[in-house]
Amino acid sequence: MKFNLKIWRQKNASTPGKIVDYSIDNINEHMSFLEMMDVLNEQLIHKGEPPVAYDHDCREGICGMCSMHINGRPHGPLAATTTCQLYMRNFKDGETIYIEPFRANSFPVIRDLVVDRSAFDRIMQAGGFVSVNTGSVQDANNIPVNKQHADLAMDAAACIGCGACVAACKNSSASLFVSAKISQLALLPQGQVEAKERVLAMVNQMDEEGFGSCTNTGACEAECPKEISISNIARMNREYYIASLT
């Protein structure tokens, strides 16, 4: 297979970037998208040019490190798929593919396709936890959890923190990401003690990081590689109102 690639190149945060054209040939349809990028980078290195920097690590769709806007969509054209799980058979031979970094003010570009998502970490540090110290806990089976709630909590906990929700949202809202953690802990008895402080602190931090507001377009849910439901945002809002009013 053969492709025309239009890739965002940017030397560092303070230098403006631009789209650069590359063409690539002899791509096997069973290659993953990132393996295609590897092939391109090997060609660049052999020519003495710096390879395209992009974040990636586990390459099995779970670490959340890979990002990329591919043809205008975070993680590319397929639903429920991270960039690292995308295969070239999902593209047409001869196709032109646009590859850009996730775009959001709160995710500044570091280089090429690499962005800074540390805002997510700071939101978690504000309240995305249960305050229990190591060793000070009771036997695990002393906390029975309704199976339905446990399953819903697990659905929310499956978030990989990649930031596709932010990149997909016209407002660059982080509501889906934040609500996934709030929901997980709100659904479990372990999270009840600090539920109010948690939601207030995390939402406050989200606002401070400059993420936009949620206007319920649902783009985040549609693009989320782990299919996190926007019903979590409804739960977050409910938790937030309860915490604000009581």
Partner 1 sequence: MAILDSKIPDGSLETKWSNYKSHIKLVNPSNKRKLEIIVIGTGLAGSSAAASLAELGYKVKAYCYQDSPRRAHSIAAQGGINSAKNYKNDGDSVYRLFYDTVKGGDFRSREANVYRLAEVSTAIIDQCVAQGVPFAREYGGLLDNRSFGGAQVSRTFYARGQTGQQLLLGAYSALSRQIGLGNVQMFNRHEMVELVVIDGKARGIIARNLTNGKLERHFGHAVVLATGGYGNVFFLSTNAMGCNVTAAWKAHKKGAFFANPCYTQIHPTCIPVSGDYQSKLTLMSESLRNDGRVWVPKKQGDKRKPIDIPEDERDYYLERKYPSFGNLAPRDISSRAAKEACDDGRGVGESGLAVYLDFADAIKRLGKDVIEARYGNLFDMYKHITNEDPYQVPMRIYPAVHYTMGGIWVDYNLMTTVPGLYATGECNFSDHGANRLGASALMQGLADGYFVLPYTIGDYLSGEIFTKAIPTDHPAFLEAEKQAKERIDKLLSIKGKKSVDDFHKALGKIMWEYCGMARNAEGLAKAKQMVRQLRDEFWKDVKVTGEADELNVDLEKAGRVADFMELGELMIDDALDRNESCGAHFRVEYQEEGEAKRNDEKYAYVAAWEHKGVGENSVLHKEQLVFENVHFATRSYK
225 binds partner 1 (CB under 8 A): no
For partner 1, the closer of residues 46 and 170 by Cβ is 46
Strand partners, 87: 32
User: Binding partner 1 by CB under 8 A: which of 17, 76, 101, 128?
Assistant: 128
Judge whether 119 and 211 are in contact, CB under 8 Å: yes
- From 68-76, 119-127, 209-217, 237-245, give the range in contact with partner 1 by CB under 8 A: 119-127
Judge whether 177 and 120 are in contact, CB under 8 Å: yes
Fill in the amino acid letter for 6.
K
Cα 184–chain centre separation:
17
For partner 1, the closer of residues 145 and 215 by Cβ is 145
Strand partners, 114: 111
- From 17-25, 69-77, 113-121, 209-217, give the range in contact with partner 1 by CB under 8 A: 113-121
Rg of the chain, C-alpha, whole Å: 20
Judge whether 87 and 30 are in contact, CB under 8 Å: yes
Sequence-separated (6 or more) residues with CB below 8 Å from residue 107: 101, 115, 116, 117, 119, 163, 166, 167
Q: Which of residues 72-111 bind partner 1 (CB under 8 A)?
A: 80-81, 85, 87, 89, 110-111
Q: Which of 162, 169, 198 is nearest to 181 (CA)?
A: 198
Q: Which of residues 153-172 bind partner 1 (CB under 8 A)?
A: 153-154, 157-158, 160-161
User: Binding partner 1 by CB under 8 A: which of 1, 24, 63, 200?
Assistant: 63
241 binds partner 1 (CB under 8 A): no
135 binds partner 1 (CB under 8 A): yes
Q: Which of 233, 241, 117 is nearest to 179 (CA)?
A: 233
14 binds partner 1 (CB under 8 A): no
215 binds partner 1 (CB under 8 A): no
Judge whether 30 and 47 are in contact, CB under 8 Å: no
| Alpha helix stretches (DSSP H) within the chain | 33-46, 118-127, 147-157, 164-168, 175-187, 195-208, 219-223, 231-245
User: Binding partner 1 by CB under 8 A: which of 1, 44, 200, 234?
Assistant: 44
User: Binding partner 1 by CB under 8 A: which of 150, 197, 215, 238?
Assistant: 150
How many residues make contact with partner 1 (CB under 8 A)?
77
User: Binding partner 1 by CB under 8 A: which of 1, 38, 103, 217?
Assistant: 38
188 binds partner 1 (CB under 8 A): yes
- From 1-9, 36-44, 207-215, 229-237, give the range in contact with partner 1 by CB under 8 A: 36-44
- From 60-68, 93-101, 169-177, 207-215, give the range in contact with partner 1 by CB under 8 A: 60-68
User: Binding partner 1 by CB under 8 A: which of 23, 96, 105, 146?
Assistant: 146
